[in-house]
Amino acid sequence: MARTRKSFSESGTCTIIKQIMDKYKLIQQQISENLSIINFGPFGEGVSDEWITKAQNRLNVVFPPSYIWWLKNYSGGEILGDEIFSIYEMDFDNVIGGDIVYRNELDRKNERANKNELIIQETDFAEVYFLDLNQVDEDGENPVYNKTTGQKFADDFLDFLKKKIEEK
């Protein structure tokens, strides 16, 4: 039986996919090992594709793949009592609280954010974190900035989760 060889691009693509999958597995493990400081929904019981699409359309943005993965798998929740904004799956005109659409529309209206900043968390210490939608890497990911300090906080949403967990 003859062996076939993958072309360089197929091999490279497989490596990249494996690296991405490993990153998701690692954050899932980190979440499960830190449930004393994390209050997310049960894994696999997240937000529907329909509501994710509605939220993106309403805000006129594209969520990065890692944020979509988190929404679809955990729905939403808190780390150390600070909510990470999610989608409540309620009418956007009537929802309040930590719904990503509500918070971002409110922050845009009050000129606390612009259309290229997707606010994902405001802590009890008034630290505001956002995805910089102007910067998109080859995987469709956006870096996370601390609006309060103006400094880059994380390379992407998964890195944001990792760093917030490690703040314990």
DSSP string, 3-20: PP---HHHHHHHHHHHHH
Q: Give me the pLDDT at residue 129, please.
A: 98
CA trace torsion 101, 104, 109, 115 (10° rounding) = -110
Q: Check which CATH number belongs to the domain holding 42 and give it.
A: 3.40.1580.10
User: What is the rounded distance in angstroms from the CA atom of residue 57 to the CA atom of residue 101?
Assistant: 10
Answer yes or no: is 120 within a domain: yes
Provide the number of structural domains found in the chain: 1
Q: Please write the tens of the pLDDT for every residue from 70-106.
A: 999 999 999 999 999 999 999 999 999 999 999 999 9
pLDDT band at 168 (very low <50, low <70, confident <90, very high): confident
Token couple for 116? 């290229």
- Residue 45, CA distances (Å) to 14, 69, 71, 116, 122 in order: 28, 11, 9, 29, 24
Q: 0.85 cut: is pTM over it?
A: yes
Answer yes or no: is 101 within a domain: yes
DSSP 42: P
Answer yes or no: is 116 within a domain: yes
Which ranges of 81-166 would DSSP assign to H, the alpha helix?
Answer: 100-109, 157-166
Answer yes or no: is 45 within a domain: yes
Q: Please write the tens of the pLDDT for every residue from 96-115.
A: 999 999 999 999 999 999 99
Beta bridge partners of 144: 131, 154
Residue closest to 153 by CA, chosen among 140, 142, 143, 162? 143
Answer yes or no: is 2 within a domain: no
Answer yes or no: is 1 within a domain: no
Range of the domain at 15: 8-166
Answer yes or no: is 31 within a domain: yes
For the chain, how many residues are written? 168
Which residue would you say has higher pLDDT here, 21 or 16? 21
